Amino acid sequence: MFSTQFLDLPPLDSASGTVRLPGSKSISNRVLLLAALCAGTTTVCDLLDSDDTRVMLDALRALGCGVRHHDAAVEITGLGGHPPASHARLFLGNAGTAMRPLTAALALMGGEFELSGVARMHERPIGDLVDALRQLGCDIQYTGVQGYPPLRVGRPALKLDAPIRVRGDVSSQFLTALLLALPLVARQDIVIEVVGELISKPYVEITLNLLARFGINVEREGWSKFTIRAGAAYRSPGEIHVEADASSASYFIALGAIASPPGQGMRLRIEGVGEDSIQGDIRFIEAARQMGATITGFANAIEVRRGAWPLKALDLDCNHIPDAAMTLAVMALYADGTTTLRNIASWRVKETDRLAAMWKELRKLGASVEIGADFIRVTPPVQWNAASIHTYDDHRIAMCFSLAAFNPARVAVRIEDPKCVAKTFPDYFETLFTVVQARAQDIPVICLDGPTASGKGTLAAELAHRLGYHYLDSGALYRVTAFAALRAGLELDASNESAIAAMAQTLPVRFIGGRVLLDEFDVTDAIRSEEGGMNASKVSVLPAVRTALVALQHSFARLPGLVADGRDMGTVIFPDAPLKVYLTASAAQRAQRRHKQLISKGIPATIDILRADLEARDARDMNRATAPLKPAQDALLLDNSGQSVEESVAQVFEWWVARQAIGKS
C-alpha cells in the first residue's frame, strides 16, 4: 500500500490484463456480524482485508466472539444469542457498515457499551436509527453532538408490539442495521415501516439475501414494509464466500472503457464478480454500456474494452448505484457532452460530503461542474489542467480520480494521501499499475550520480520511499550478476561472457527496504563483501555483460516512477530523465563517513588511508574509457558534505516537486 504524502500518476495510455478484486466491503461486514450472532463457527472465505473489516473484527473480539485466521479464511465463533461481553468500548474508525449495525445489535442485546470513531464518523448522522431503536425501548445516549456518534448504549426495556418506523431517505444503512439486529428479539412478528423513499435499495437487497443465507427470511411489501416472523433464528451456513467488491469493479470497468486497447483483441478482464452478483453496484455495467463500453459478462468475471469514443454523455437516476456513480462522474470527463447524475443526495453523508468534493476536484481538472441537493452535472474540460486531487480521507475519491490520468492533454494527476484506499482496497494502486501502460518517456525517472561513498544509495532509497517510486542500485547489479554467475558454476572470465550476459538480461533482482533480493533470496550481505566487489569488477569489464545490464536497468523504469543511483545514470542510462542530481561531497567528508561505518561494524580503519583510496578510486572512475564519472550537463549539483540524509532527501524532494507542473489543492 502506498503510504506517501502523495502519488503522482504520469500520463497513461492503455490497459490490458487481468485484475482479481478484493472482497466486497458491504458483504464482508454484514457477514461478520451475522456470523457473530449465530451459534457455532462460521468460516468466511475471501473476506476483504481492509480498515473497515479490521475494526469490525476488533469489535467482535472485544464482544467475546472467537476470531481465528486460517489461511485465506476467517473463522468466527458466534455468540449464539447469548449476551456479549457486558462492557466494551468500541472504536469503529470511519466504518458506517460497522457503526450502524453494531449500534442496533448491542442496543437490543443490552449491556454497557461505548461506540466511537474518527472525527468524520462523528459528523455522519445516526439520529434516524437511534430514534427507531428508542421506539423499541432501547437505551441509547449521545455523548457528543445530538444525532451523531459517539454513543453510549445501555440495557433496553423492549416494546415490540407496534411497527418500527425508520427514515429511508438518508441512508439505507439504518434499515439494514434494524434488519440485521431484530431477529435477535423476534419473539413475535416484528414490522419495520420505511418513512419516505428508500434510497440505495440494492444495498438492502444485499442484506436480505445474506439474511436468507443465515436462516432469516424477511417478508417485504415493496420497499416500504418489512416483516420478521416470530421465532426467526440465526443459523450458520457453516461456510460462506464473499463476492468481490462490485463498487471496486467500477474503476476497472471504467478503465477498460477509457483506455486505448494496446493491441488487436486485447481487453481488461475483472475476476471475482459477475453480472449475476447480489450487489447492486454491479448495475454500473448498464451505465458503462450506455456510455459506450463494450462489456462481456461471465459467471464470475467481466471483460471490458473501449467501444464508443468519446464516451456518450448520459442523464441517469443513480439511486441504484450510489457509490459506483462517483466513477461515472469521472468517466463524464471523457464524454461527448454534459452528463447529469441524479438522486445522489446520500453522497453528502458518506466518508465526506462527496457532492461538494467532486464539484471541487473535477473543476481543478478543467471540467465545468454544477451540483444541487441531489445531483451533479459534469461537462468535459475544454482544456485539461494538471491537478493535485485532495482526497478527504475518502477511498472512493482517490480511486475514481486515478482514471483522470488517461486525459488527452497528457498532463499528470497527483493523488493526495493515497493510503486512504485502505478502507476498502489497500492494494488498489499496485493493482492498477499491473494492467495499465504508459509511454517509456512518460515514466518519471530521477537520477542520482556521484563518487563512491557520497551517500547516493541511502539518499536514493529514502527518496524512492518518500515518492512511492521503484529504486535501482545500479552498482549492486554488477555484484549480483557476479554472484548469480558463480552460483550457476560460471567462471568470471571472457570464456563465459555470452552465458553471463544472457543471465544478466533477465536477472530476477529487487531492491526492497535497503535489502537486495535475488530470486526472493536476500543476498545483501553476500554481495557487499570485499570479495563481492572484486567479482563485480571482473564482470564489469565484459562488454556483452555491460550491454545486457544497460537493458536490465532500463526495465526498472516502471510505473509510477524510478529513482536510480550510480555513476552514469544521468549521462548514459537515463539521459532524458527529468531530474538529474550529482553529489559532490568532498573526499575528506566521504572518508569520515566510511570510517564511521567501518568502525561501527568492528572493522579497523584509518581515515587517511580511506581518503587516499577514495581519491584514487575517483581518478580511475573519472578517466575510464566507458561511461566516465561526471555530472550530466543538465544535472543539479548537491554538495551534501555538511548535510544529514534527511536534509539531502528534503532538498532533492523539493527540486522534484518544483519540476512537476501540478497545481496545488
Which amino acids are annotated as binding site for ATP, given as ranges? 450-458
Grid cell at residue 317? 437516476
Q: Catalytic residue numbers?
A: 323
CA distances from 610 to 26, 436, 503, 643 (A): 62, 48, 34, 20
The pair phi, psi for residue 648, each rounded to 5°, is -65, -45
Instruction: Count CB atoms within 10 A of the CB of residue 505.
Output: 14
Residues whose CB is less than 8 angstroms from the CB of residue 393 and which lie 6 or more positions away in sequence, other chains included: 94, 118, 120, 351, 352, 417, 420
The Cα–Cα gap between 427 and 417 comes to 14
Phi, psi of 449 (to 5 degrees): -110, 165
**Which of these, 605, 243, 649, lies nearest to 448 by C-alpha position?**
649
Residues in binding site: 25-26, 30, 96, 124, 171-173, 200, 323, 350, 354, 396, 423, 450-458
What residues are designated binding site for 3-phosphoshikimate?
A: 25-26, 30, 171-173, 200, 323, 350
Q: At what angle do helices 246-258 and 428-435 cross, to 10 degrees?
A: 30
Q: What is the DSSP letter of 268?
A: E
Q: Which residues, 6 or more positions from 658, have their beta carbon under 8 angstroms from its beta carbon?
A: none
Rounded to whole angstroms, how far apart are CA atoms 540 and 532?
12
Q: Amino acid letter at 598?
A: L
Q: Name every residue whose Cβ is closer than 8 Å to that of residue 504 and which is 6 or more positions away in sequence.
A: 477, 481, 545, 548, 549, 552
Task: Please give the full DSSP string across 569-596, using - where no structure is assigned.
Answer: IIIII-TT-SEEEEE---HHHHHHHHHH
Is 31 exposed, middle or buried, given 0-12, 13-18 or 19+ CB atoms closer than 10 A? buried
CA 10 to chain CA mean position, Å: 17
Query: What residues does 75 pair with on adjacent strands?
Result: 43, 68
Q: Compute the distance between CA of residue 387 and CA of residue 384 in angstroms, rounded to an integer.
A: 9
Which residues carry a binding-site annotation for phosphoenolpyruvate? 25, 96, 124, 173, 354, 396, 423
Q: Write the CB contacts of 495 (distance below 8 Å, at least 6 apart in sequence).
A: none
Burial label for 355, CB within 10 Å (0-12, 13-18, 19+), is buried
